[in-house]
Amino acid sequence: MTESRRSGGATRRDFLRLSGAFVAVSAGAGCGFFSTEPAAPQGAAGAAKGLEAPALAARVQAGELPPVAERLPKTPMVVTPASTMGVYGGTWRTALTGPGDGFWLLKTVGYEPLLRWDPVGNTVVPNVAESFEVSADGRTVTLRLRSGMRWSDGEPFTADDLAFSYDDVLQDPELGGGAPAWLRAGGKSDGEPARLDVVDPHTVRLVFAEPSGQVLLYLANTEETYDLMRPAHYLRQFHHRLGGDLTALVAQAQASDPVDLFYRKASSGIGDVVHWQNTDLPRLTAWMPSAPFGQGNEFVVERNPYYWKTDPEGSQLPYLDAIRYAVVQDNQAVLQMALNGELDLHQRHINDATNKPVVVDNEARGGYRVYSTVDTICNSATLFFNQGHTDPTLRSVFRSKDFRVGLSLAMDRAEISKVVYAGQADPWQAAPLRDSGYYHERLATQFTEFDLAQAEAHLDRAGLAGRDAQGRRLGPDGQPVTFVLSYPLGIQDAFAAIAELVRGQWANVGITVEVKGLERSFFNSQVGAKGHDAYIFVGQGGGPEAIVNPISYVPFAPPPSSSAGYAPTWAEWYASGGAEGEEPPEPTKRQFALLDEIRGTVDAGRQKELMTQLLDIAADEFYVIGTVLVRPGAFWGVVSEKMHNLRDAEQTVLASSFFPSPGITCPEQLYLTT
């Protein structure tokens, strides 16, 4: 009896003790293993503001970093936030589709050129360089660097870095490709390379034998100026002439030779995956990788403690602690992330008209907004005919302007817009955009009307009046005119639909084409070998960069550039100074002369006059056929409700291949709230 009572009492006490323990476990479960709530992530957004990020202040306290005043240059670059002063903290979540997607890294973190492009004023403004000056004769460009500015490892950034990059890397016969055309006399690829003079540790002078007209635009381009801003103090040890005996280092890095070693350490550019794998490489960007790219399922870049910009209150930028790129394999997976609200700011992979409806529908659920971007293309889908074709019949047909005009008039652009772009596109030739500064009305609008009678007349005049029993037009060789219209797969879904529509529309006027979608690297090697008939590709150079890259208006660069496949032999003639290729007709030669003059002219007004003349000839020659141009908003990005200061988010964000977006909108002043 007593035994049983005792055991009963013990049981009750045990029970109490147990339940007490259980309550304690539950209470502590917020951070324990048995919690089913997400444990708080590190670096939650919305922390307080001071002169530097709290995490950095703590490291200064611990003696790991010098105080913020010593880390900043004497005159930091002051970035005015787009709308409000930010707060420190938060991680910007976005996505990458793999190692081949380095351009998104370049566009988000990588845009820190010597000068930068101001999308609001459409001008070049200082960035890494504190100021710049072009002499009256245009032969000298002086760049003043920021005194006290430092690389991400704390070493000073000086004129020595520029001299090393230019003289010992870019112009080294083994390491570099030589000075690019814009750094040569007259901006010509065969001009004498400019001389880089170090005036003092913070001043360099580029001295040209003849003025190079576009040097400022190029200095505002990130890949181009990266070639001038390599960290000399770190890279000298890997240099084949300056580094001493490299045998041990070559073996250690498993490189094949000293040149390979150098590029394994230095990377060939910001879009190169090596740039994001070598965590030892000093940088000037707002964020830098904490672990090499390619490990696991994500890639993270973290705050650079030596970043050289502040907000107007003197707080060191960037506001955001880090950017985390989820590495996913497929664009559909990126789309899913957008719908789930897992992307704080993203304008790549999925940002076309097809995906827009579903993304807009889920705005509220995903807690994000869709903003419009303006892609500075000159045409959404341009048709290129190989006017240097090896087959004489096709070559003579393609070279006939009447043939191209006829085909242009035979196209029903309203149908293309309706079927492919949900009506959100307008008829347009390959021509600069209205507010690009180079708008040319005739080039943009000629032959865009749908007029079958006129089309037939032009094709008749092109020498294709004869027809066979099936109504197909006969070429000069008496055979029906047929050719392949190809397009690269995986660039834009729209190409396939446009190709099919165009095939049907041209069949109405007796022109037979075979449509072929080609795997994109195969497509490129075919265009590179000039083995193509005709193809569809995006028309490049619609924005302010038209003057730098007028490839849709004058055939100056031979393939592999995919926008240059319309006159490859003339382009070779120009690029080789007349040694190779085929001599072009007079109007094209006149264009080449104008282009040379533009590249050697410093005065912007004069450049514009010359550009207008060049576009006049482009309109006369009508090299390529444009289809339509999507309206602003056909391309877009998503931005989280919690992400602030996206410049011009309410209107539009310029997205150009030359001036990468969102890089040009200053991502360092973005901030997150909870």
Partner 1 sequence: MGRYVLRRLLYLIPTIFLISAVSFLIIQLPPGSYLDTVIAEMAAEGRVDETRIAVLEQRYGLDEPLHVQYLTWIGGMLHGDFGESFLWNAPVSELIGSRLLLSVAISLCALLVTWMLAFPIGIYSAVRRYSFGDYAFTMVGFVGLAVPEFLLGLGLAYVAFTWFGQDVGGLFSPEFQDSAWNLGKVLDLLSNVWMPIVVVGAAGTAALIRTLRSTLLDELAKPYVDTARAKGLTERRLLLKYPVRMALGPFLSTVGWVLPALVSGEVVVSIVFNLPTTGPLLLQALKAQDMYLAGSFIMILSLLTVLGTLLSDLLLAWSDPRIRYGNR
Q: Which range, of 114-122, 158-166, 271-279, 445-453, touches partner 1 by CB under 8 A?
A: 271-279
The rounded distance, in Å, linking the Cα atoms of 653 and 538 is: 19
Q: Residue 149 or residue 339: which is nearer to partner 1 going by CB?
A: 339
3 state DSSP class of 142: strand
Under rule CB under 8 A, residue 41 binds partner 1 = yes
Binding mask 584-623 for partner 1 (x = CB under 8 A): ----------------------------------------
Under rule CB under 8 A, residue 491 binds partner 1 = yes
Q: Which range, of 136-144, 235-243, 259-267, 464-472, touches partner 1 by CB under 8 A?
A: 259-267
Q: How far is the CB of 297 from partner 1 (least distance, A)?
A: 4
The rounded distance, in Å, linking the Cα atoms of 154 and 70 is: 10
Q: Residue 598 or residue 655: which is nearer to partner 1 going by CB?
A: 655
Q: Which helix (H) or strand (E) holds 653?
A: strand 652-655
Q: Residue 267 or residue 372: which is nearer to partner 1 going by CB?
A: 267
For partner 1, the binding residues in 101-140 under the rule CB under 8 A are: 103
Q: What b-and-e string marks burial along 406-431, b requiring 16 or more CB atoms within 10 Å of the CB?
A: bbbbbbbbeebbeebbeebbbbbbbb
The answer to whether residues 334 and 93 touch, using CB atoms and an 8 Å cutoff, is no
For partner 1, the binding residues in 451-490 under the rule CB under 8 A are: 488
Q: Residue 244 or residue 294: which is nearer to partner 1 going by CB?
A: 294
Binding footprint of partner 1, residue count (CB under 8 A) = 74
The answer to whether residues 518 and 537 touch, using CB atoms and an 8 Å cutoff, is no
* Angular region, 9: left φ>0, alpha ψ -120 to 50, beta rest: alpha
Q: Residue 226 or residue 570: which is nearer to partner 1 going by CB?
A: 226
Copy the structure tokens of residue 102. 């380095």
Binding residue for partner 1 (CB under 8 A) from 525, 613, 652, 673?
525
For partner 1, the binding residues in 341-380 under the rule CB under 8 A are: 341-342, 377
Q: How many CB atoms lie within 10 A of CB 456?
A: 19
For partner 1, the binding residues in 152-181 under the rule CB under 8 A are: 176-178, 180
Under rule CB under 8 A, residue 561 binds partner 1 = yes
In sequence order, the 6+-apart residues with CB closer than 8 A to the CB of 628 are 379, 380, 381, 413, 416, 417, 421, 425, 426, 427, 428
The rounded distance, in Å, linking the Cα atoms of 482 and 461 is: 18
Q: How far is the CB of 198 from partner 1 (least distance, A)?
A: 23
Binding residue for partner 1 (CB under 8 A) from 2, 7, 36, 470?
36
For partner 1, the binding residues in 190-219 under the rule CB under 8 A are: none
Under rule CB under 8 A, residue 238 binds partner 1 = no
The rounded distance, in Å, linking the Cα atoms of 616 and 411 is: 23
Mutual angle of helices 604-621 and 586-599, in 10-degree steps: 160
Under rule CB under 8 A, residue 533 binds partner 1 = no
The rounded distance, in Å, linking the Cα atoms of 75 and 664 is: 21
For partner 1, the binding residues in 315-344 under the rule CB under 8 A are: 326-330, 332-333, 336-337, 339-342
Under rule CB under 8 A, residue 522 binds partner 1 = yes
